[in-house]
Chains A and B, each alone.
Chain A
Amino acid sequence: MRKAVSFILVVIIAIGIGFSLQEVPFGKTKSEVRKYYLEKGIEQTGATNIVTSVVVSYRGFDTLGEVTVLFIAAIGLSAVLYRKEERLKKEVRKSSLILYTGCRFLFPLIILFGAYIFIHGHLTPGGGFQGGAVIASAFLLTMLGCWRWGGINRNRFKITESLSGLIFVVVGLLGLLYGGYFLLNYLPKGMPNELFSAGIIPIIYIAIGFKVGSEITGIIDNMTRSG
């Protein structure tokens, strides 16, 4: 009975979505703003990667909201799962030589790649969120197979997270001070395609990279410690 009802509901929803999407042309552009970004983006923000110029400069305030959502999620998880765990240390087994060596070899390379992604966020594809996720996956690797894992040093991660969030907000507020609106790009834009260009965009993306990396690592750490 329940299955029949849910099947009918799914069919009704599918028909509704099908009808509502009938009029939408697929693959055709209707908005003019896309053209504006592509033509004026490099000139106005100095970032060669148009996606970055939209995410950090044109829609920078939305990105602040996104970072806040992730922060609240991490805080909620640690509020639910936080536990001072001593049991973990007894359970830890030493990994085999091949696993240990492979992990120790790969860990700095993955960290380097993540740092490359968010430092070059305004030049090449990628940015703070992607680089932070790559760094968190490096810590996940050490957690799975590497040296005797007693958990991360929580205080250092908390300080990194708070400091990078603070840098984002302070850089944005300085724009309010200089030119009258939040996240104004007040630093010199420099030449496009150079590492030191695009004003405040690299600073903000590096802060986001550190913040996302430490937050996701903290989430995984909380998951492994609890229960």
Chain B
Amino acid sequence: MILEVILVFVMLVAAIAAGIFKDLLNAIIATGFVSFLAAILFYFLQAPDVAMAEASIGAALTVAIFIIAIKKTKRFEEDEEGS
């Protein structure tokens, strides 16, 4: 029980960090970390089917596709004007 609460809090921190990072590579790794922790949480909540899908799609394939997309475009987010 206490482990699950800790996992949820680390997930929250990682998700907020993913929104804040200006370096998009770091942001992608943070989202991958969120997916990885979600997979562990699903396993604890007795849903191994969902955990398997989350681990392979969320933590591996999505991160890889985003990284390929970043390689083709730009790595750093620019400050938006007028803020």
Contacts and interface: CB of A to CB of B under 8 A. Distances in A.
Interface of A: 1-3, 49, 51, 117, 125-127, 129-130, 133-134, 136-137, 140, 144, 216, 219-220, 223-224, 226-227
A127 B53 CA distance: 9
Contact of B53 (A130, A220, A226): A130
Contacts of B68: 220, 223-224
9 contacts: A1-B82, A125-B48, A125-B52, A130-B53, A133-B57, A133-B61, A137-B61, A220-B61, A223-B68
Given A137-B60, A220-B68, A223-B69, A3 B83 contact: yes
B67 to A, nearest CB: 10
Contacts of B61: 133, 136-137, 140, 216, 220
Nearest to B60: A137
Nearest to B72: A227
A127 to B, nearest CB: 7
A3 B68 CA distance: 31
A65 B68 CA distance: 28
Interface in B3-30: none
A117 B65 contact: no
A184 B20 CA distance: 51
A220 B72 contact: no
Contacts of A224: 68
B1 to A, nearest CB: 14
Contacts of A227: 72
B69 A126 contact: no
A212 B72 CA distance: 25
B73 to A, nearest CB: 9
Nearest to B59: A137
A190 B60 CA distance: 37
Q: Taking each of A3, A220, A223, which has the highest tally of chain B beta carbons within 10 Å of its own beta carbon?
A: A223
A2 B64 contact: no
